[in-house]
Amino acid sequence: MNLSMGPGKKEKKNIHLDYDTVIIGAGVAGLYQLYRLRELGLKVRTFEAGSGVGGTWYWNRYPGARFDSESWTYGYSFSQELMDEWDWKENFSAQPENERYLNFVADKFNLRENIQFNATVVSTQYHDDRRYWEIILENGDCYTSRFLITAIGILSAPTMPNISGVSDFKGVSFHTYYWPKEEIDFEGKRVGVIGTGATAVQLIQEVAKTAGHLTVFQRTPNWCAPLHNRPITAEEQKEIKTSYEEIFAKCRASYAGFMHDSDRRRALQVSDEERQAFYEKLYREPGFGIWMGNFRDMLVDERANTTISEFVAGKIRERVKDPAIAAKLVPTNHGFGTRRVPMETHYYEVYNQDNVQLVDLRETPISRITEAGIETSDEMHEFDMIVYATGFDAVTGGYSQIDIRGSGGRTLTDKWADGVRTFLGLQIEGFPNMFTLVGPHNAASFCNIPRCIEQNVDWMADLMTRVKVDGLNRIESTAEAEEEWTGHVHLMAQRMLFSKTNSWFTGINSNIEGRDQRSVLLYAGGAPGYRDKCDEVAAADYAGMILH
């Protein structure tokens, strides 16, 4: 097939390629990137492992899965028509509706015609001589493309616990990411859930409603905060529809793309009464306000952070009747907001129910999984169903699942062996013509994700316009630019308390060998600063990148 790019001033011979650009993934990022590139008249193909669109919202079908972002800040902002036509039903919309939305988008813009479903990319290799990527699917099919854009998400490589006997269990079991499409009934069942991260917290509240008996296996308690979800009224719907411009402007100006942005005061600058009153207000309000809209030093100063941790600990003790159980649920090894804050509705009250038991794995660790259930150091727990809410090989895991080989055949695994290095979290030196939407070191990895995705995608679309106009065929960042950006990312992370805490934010995963040392994966400098930097690079004719 012919390369449909521009005249290719620097192109010596007419190379036949299958595509101008291949996108991996048809989630929130991949869908919008496909839309933008197709608009430019490029020949684009998207390979998607699932049988439908949606990415995160396609895979995570477990009961309770929903946005922690206000729904009306999560949708795409690029099409007025889309915003006019779509009605969010709840302030924090649930997975079935979110998947329906992304399907609506795919249909509205006829995106499916460029997407190949059930198409898992297993390897990609850059060919220096011909300046293209070869993309190989699980079924052996092979395609060539000038550019390769990954839209594989930061939480797309689920990890099972490294506990012996996982495959011995005779009952029903799933990782939350691979929740089946058919409805699962917990009525009267004995259910065990391993994990108490954001996923587990959403799920546990649902399972506890009907399960005969639910046992939660907790290794590390997290600081959870009330979501305060409710339906959107007709009146509010009208208001939302007329306010999109202001909503998105507010998100754009905020640190992490939310409606919530930090309070300009410092925690210890105000009186105790004023501080308590502020925390009470935040605790009563919906969404991430208590995390993202708190005192400005909350996430960087330990003394400030202690004040909110003590406040939330008090709430946990108030809500959980048995003081011994409450004590197990209060985190002791990290401060509030230094790990991802799970959002909840009656989560703590679940532990007041007769059908729910909390097992503290710090006291009685799991020894193995058997045919019948989970054995801890002091008890055998028998189950009909075990749910693994054990998290992900976060941020870089999606890349490790694909054998990615850049210039000279160097693997990405080898390139990142001593730590992740990127330019803008969008490009990697030695991997020409490959771009990583929401990649490591990209502000989108710590953001109300669609807001930052749109920035990533628009920036890519501008670059691709340039490619088309000038007939470019090789783009790569320089080692110096990569080093400078990586240094900046590390500096930004250092000041944050989360960088001193073990969690997926810092690449810790007890289920993967060798992943017990913290690393810098996220960009903590804030979305506005990140956007400015990307804009500066583009305005300076893509300074830091070599364009051929």
Please report whether residue 63 would count as binding ligand NA7 according to CB under 6 A.
no
State which residue, 132 or 288, has the beta carbon closest to ligand NA7.
288
**Measured from the CB of residue 353, what is the shortest distance to ligand NA7 in angstroms?**
20
Please report whether residue 404 would count as binding ligand NA7 according to CB under 6 A.
no
Angle, helix 302-319 to helix 272-284, in steps of 10 degrees? 60
* DSSP annotation string for 469-527: HHT---EEE-HHHHHHHHHHHHHHHHTSGGGGS-SGGGT--TTSTT--S----S--S-H
CB 82 within 8 A of CB 454: no
Looking at the chain, how many residues does it have? 548
Residues 66-105 that bind ligand NA7 (CB under 6 A): none
**Measured from the CB of residue 456, what is the shortest distance to ligand NA7 in angstroms?**
18
In sequence order, the 6+-apart residues with CB closer than 8 A to the CB of 432 are: 126, 131, 406, 407, 474, 475, 476
In the shown chain, the binding pattern of residues 358 to 377 toward ligand NA7, with x for contact by CB under 6 A and - for none, equals: ---x----------------
In sequence order, the 6+-apart residues with CB closer than 8 A to the CB of 486 are: 419, 420, 421, 422, 441
State which residue, 37 or 395, has the beta carbon closest to ligand NA7.
395
24, 53, 149, 194: residue in contact with ligand NA7 (rule CB under 6 A):
194
State which residue, 369 or 472, has the beta carbon closest to ligand NA7.
369
State which residue, 226 or 432, has the beta carbon closest to ligand NA7.
226
**Measured from the CB of residue 503, what is the shortest distance to ligand NA7 in angstroms?**
7
- Give the phi and the psi of residue 45 in degrees, each rounded to 5: -135, 135
Distance, CA of 11 to CA of 1 (rounded, Å): 16
Angle, alpha carbons 238-244-248 (nearest 5°) = 150
Please report whether residue 136 would count as binding ligand NA7 according to CB under 6 A.
no
94, 200, 225, 452: residue in contact with ligand NA7 (rule CB under 6 A):
200
**Measured from the CB of residue 471, what is the shortest distance to ligand NA7 in angstroms?**
41
Please report whether residue 199 would count as binding ligand NA7 according to CB under 6 A.
yes
In sequence order, the 6+-apart residues with CB closer than 8 A to the CB of 532 are: none
Number of residues that bind ligand NA7 (CB under 6 A): 22
Please report whether residue 198 would count as binding ligand NA7 according to CB under 6 A.
yes
Which run of H or E residues covers position 46? strand 44-47
CB 121 within 8 A of CB 46: no
Please report whether residue 155 would count as binding ligand NA7 according to CB under 6 A.
yes
**Measured from the CB of residue 217, what is the shortest distance to ligand NA7 in angstroms?**
6
**Measured from the CB of residue 220, what is the shortest distance to ligand NA7 in angstroms?**
3
**Measured from the CB of residue 392, what is the shortest distance to ligand NA7 in angstroms?**
6
Please report whether residue 163 would count as binding ligand NA7 according to CB under 6 A.
yes
Q: Which residue has the tokens 């390897």?
A: 123
Q: Give the sign of the dihedral formed by CA 400, CA 406, CA 411, CA 414.
A: negative
State which residue, 395 or 460, has the beta carbon closest to ligand NA7.
395
Structure tokens at 255: 């640190």
Structure tokens at 231: 């339906």
Please report whether residue 390 would count as binding ligand NA7 according to CB under 6 A.
yes
Please report whether residue 219 would count as binding ligand NA7 according to CB under 6 A.
yes
387, 389, 443, 545: residue in contact with ligand NA7 (rule CB under 6 A):
389
Distance, CA of 34 to CA of 67 (rounded, Å): 23
**Measured from the CB of residue 199, what is the shortest distance to ligand NA7 in angstroms?**
3
Bridge pairing between strands 475-477 and 545-547: antiparallel
**Measured from the CB of residue 101, what is the shortest distance to ligand NA7 in angstroms?**
18
In sequence order, the 6+-apart residues with CB closer than 8 A to the CB of 343 are: 68, 92, 198, 201, 202, 224, 225, 226, 227, 287, 288
Angle, helix 234-253 to helix 449-470, in steps of 10 degrees? 60
Please report whether residue 153 would count as binding ligand NA7 according to CB under 6 A.
no
Residue nearest to ligand NA7 (CB): 197
Q: Give the sign of the dihedral formed by CA 498, CA 500, CA 502, CA 507.
A: positive
State which residue, 44 or 200, has the beta carbon closest to ligand NA7.
200
**Measured from the CB of residue 218, what is the shortest distance to ligand NA7 in angstroms?**
7
27, 75, 195, 373: residue in contact with ligand NA7 (rule CB under 6 A):
195
**Measured from the CB of residue 410, what is the shortest distance to ligand NA7 in angstroms?**
30
Please report whether residue 156 would count as binding ligand NA7 according to CB under 6 A.
no
Which window, 7-15, 157-165, 223-231, 452-460, contacts ligand NA7 (CB under 6 A)?
157-165
In the shown chain, the binding pattern of residues 456 to 495 toward ligand NA7, with x for contact by CB under 6 A and - for none, equals: ----------------------------------------
Find residue 2's DSSP bridge partners: 16
CB 258 within 8 A of CB 73: yes
Please report whether residue 196 would count as binding ligand NA7 according to CB under 6 A.
yes
Please report whether residue 325 would count as binding ligand NA7 according to CB under 6 A.
no
**Measured from the CB of residue 343, what is the shortest distance to ligand NA7 in angstroms?**
9
**Could you tell me how far CA 479 lies from the centroid of its own chain?**
27
**Could you tell me how far CA 364 lies from the centroid of its own chain?**
31
**Measured from the CB of residue 254, what is the shortest distance to ligand NA7 in angstroms?**
18
Which window, 3-11, 159-167, 226-234, 451-459, contacts ligand NA7 (CB under 6 A)?
159-167
In sequence order, the 6+-apart residues with CB closer than 8 A to the CB of 269 are: none
- Positions in the binding site for ligand NA7 (CB under 6 A): 155, 161-163, 194-200, 219-220, 340, 361, 389-392, 504, 510-511
